[in-house]
Amino acid sequence: MQENSNTHASLDAAQQRKGRMIFLLLAIFFTVPLVVVVAMIKFDWRPSGKSYGQLIQPPVSIASTTHWVTDNQQAAPAFWQDKWNIVLIAGECDARCMQRLYDLRQVYVSLYKDMIRVQRVLITQQADTQQIRERYPDLLIINGESEQVAALGRMLSGGGQNTLAAQRVYFIDPLGNVMMQYDLEQEAKWIRKDLMKLLKASWAG
């Protein structure tokens, strides 16, 4: 009888130790994230994610601007809205520009289900864009008056840069804000990586 009592007491003690251990693990599980959040707020610390493009500073908004698309069709301000825009600017679409358009199309196709959230735009002073349109029928082309295109290029870059010759790529968000720029040497895979992060983090578009 005494032996049975000792056995029950040992089992009860083991269960109590097990219960305390589970409680301790649960306390750690729920408390540690709270401590981390409090520390982040107190010390204003935020984890930094690497991006490969250059952030546009100061911010530029083209949400209210109107531009000419093709010879006779005008693009309303809503042209920039509701979708993410991958924009390439080139005075004349030479071999480098055509290669870049190909790269951006590959980026676009690789988005799969997110393709519907993105549109590709070429801004150029080139008058004859028939060959480009035949090769990329889903590409939106702005090729209005030369000075208008140049002014748009200066607006996107923040001014003072020869954007037409540099052939940079820009991200414009669905609210018409110019966010990022990429120079001609930036590989398409890194442009895609940044775009995927933006699409994943954004509710818009």
DSSP string for residues in 42-83: HHT--PPPP-SSEEEEEEEE-TT--EEETTTEEEPGGGGSSS
Q: Decide which of 78 and 45 is more confident.
A: 78
Residue 1, pLDDT score: 53
**Contact status, residue 106 vs residue 94, Cβ threshold 8 Å:** no
pLDDT digits (tens, 9 = 90+) for 9-48: 565 666 777 777 776 666 665 555 545 444 444 444 444 5
Q: Is pLDDT at 5 greater than 70 in this prediction?
A: no
Sheet holding 54-61, edge to edge: 54-61, 177-182, 169-172, 84-90, 118-124, 140-142, 67-69, 73-75
Q: Decide which of 76 and 156 is more confident.
A: 156
Angstrom distance (rounded) from CA 128 to CA 37? 56
Q: What mean pLDDT is reported for the chain?
A: 75
Q: What is the mean pLDDT of residues 195-204?
A: 79
Angstrom distance (rounded) from CA 203 to CA 157? 25
Residue 187, pLDDT score: 92
pLDDT digits (tens, 9 = 90+) for 134-186: 999 999 888 867 777 777 777 776 555 567 778 889 998 888 888 888 988 88
Angstrom distance (rounded) from CA 52 to CA 193? 8
Residue 15, pLDDT score: 72
The strand pairing partners of 170, in sequence order, are 87, 181
Q: Which two tokens stand for residue 189?
A: 């895979």
